Amino acid sequence: MYLELYPDIIFIINFGIDFILLLLHKMVCKRSTSTGRLLLAATTGGLIAAIVGIFPWMNVFIRFLIMNIASSVIMLLIAYGRASGVEFIRRLISLYLLTYFLGGFINSIYYHSNFRIKLIRLGSLISSNLTWKAVVLCVAIAFLAFIFGLWLFRMVNSKRYHTLDTELILGDMKVSTKGLVDTGNCLYDPVFRKPVIIIEMMLLMDLMPAEQYQRLLALKNLIADNDQESDNYELVDTLPFKLRFIPYHSVGRQNGILLGLVLDKVLVRQGKDAICNEKVTAAIYDDMLSTCNDYHVILHKELL
C-alpha cells in the first residue's frame, strides 16, 4: 500500500490549532506570558505532530503519550515557564478542557453544516486560480490582523480586568495605588508559608518616616551587595516593623533574596466589594514594576 504524507501541511495545521488553543488558554485562565513564547510553543507542538506523522506505523499507545501528554506538557512549559505541581496540573487540565470543547465545536461545524462543502469548493477555486505565494501572503496578512486585533483588545481591557485599586496600610500611614492581578506570582514566606505581594520601593516613602526609610534602604543595599561580614544588619533591631527575607528564582538569575516588609493591612477593591488581608508580607522591588506606570503592586492570587 502506498501512503503519501505531507509533513509541512501537518505542521501548518497543528501550529495554527495549537496557537489558537494557547491564546484561548491565556485569555480564559488570565495567564501572563508573551506572544513570542506562545508562537514558540505552538511551533514546537507543530513540529512534534509533523515528526510523529512521518511514522504512521508507530505504536498507538506511544503516539498517544507523545501527542496528548508530552506535547501538551512541553508547550505549557515553553508558554508559561515552570510552576508548582498543583498549579501546573491546573494549567494542563484547563488546556485539555479547551482542546475538548474547541475540537467538538470545529467538528460540529464541519460535519453538521454546509461549511464542509463550501470549504471544498473554496479549496478547488484557490488551487485553480491562485499561486502558493498568494495563498501564503493571504494567510500571513490574516494572521497579522488577528494578532493586532488581539493586542488591541487586550490593551483596551487590560486595566479593567487585571488591575485593582489597592490600599497599603502600615501603622498610621497608608497609600493608595494600583495592583496587578498576576497568577504567576508564586512567592511565599519560607517560614510561615503565607502569600507574598511585590511592591515598588518608592511606595515606602509614603508609608514611613524619612529616617526609617533610609535605614530600610541601607539594609536592602546590604542584602543586594551580599555583604555578609558587615555588622550593619543590626539595623533590623532599630526598625519598628517586622521584616522577612524572601528567596526567589527568576530567569537570568538562578536564585536571590528579596527584603520583605510585613504590612498591617492590604485592602483590595473589586467593584463595590473590598477584600481586607492582615499581616501581609510585601517583597520590596527597586525598579518600576510597569513600564507604563499602570500599577505599582503585584498581588498574590490567594489574597483575592
* Mean pLDDT within 290-297: 82
Q: Residue 253's pLDDT band (boundaries 50, 70, 90)?
A: low
- Report pLDDT digits (tens) over 225-250: 654 444 445 555 567 788 888 887 76
Query: What is d(CA 61, CA 59) in angstroms, rounded to the nearest whole number?
Result: 6
Q: Worst-scoring range by mean pLDDT, 57-61, 115-119, 299-303?
A: 115-119
What percent of the chain is modeled with pLDDT above 70? 73
**Whether pLDDT at 289 is above 80:** yes
What percent of the chain is modeled with pLDDT above 90? 8
**Whether pLDDT at 34 is above 90:** no
pLDDT at residue 228 in the model: 47
* Mean pLDDT within 64-72: 85
Q: Residue 117's pLDDT band (boundaries 50, 70, 90)?
A: low
Q: Residue 55's pLDDT band (boundaries 50, 70, 90)?
A: confident
**Whether pLDDT at 110 is above 80:** no
Name the average pLDDT for the chain: 77
**Whether pLDDT at 160 is above 60:** no
CB atoms within 10 A of CB 76: 21
**Whether pLDDT at 266 is above 90:** yes
Q: Where are the domains of the chain?
A: 7-129, 162-303
pLDDT at residue 229 in the model: 44
Q: Residue 186's pLDDT band (boundaries 50, 70, 90)?
A: confident
**Whether pLDDT at 161 is above 50:** no
Q: Worst-scoring range by mean pLDDT, 6-15, 67-76, 155-164?
A: 155-164
Query: What is d(CA 285, CA 295) in angstroms, rounded to the nearest whole number?
Result: 13
**Whether pLDDT at 2 is above 80:** no
Q: 77, 38, 40: which is closest to 251 by C-alpha?
A: 77
Query: What is d(CA 198, CA 196) in angstroms, rounded to the nearest whole number?
Result: 7
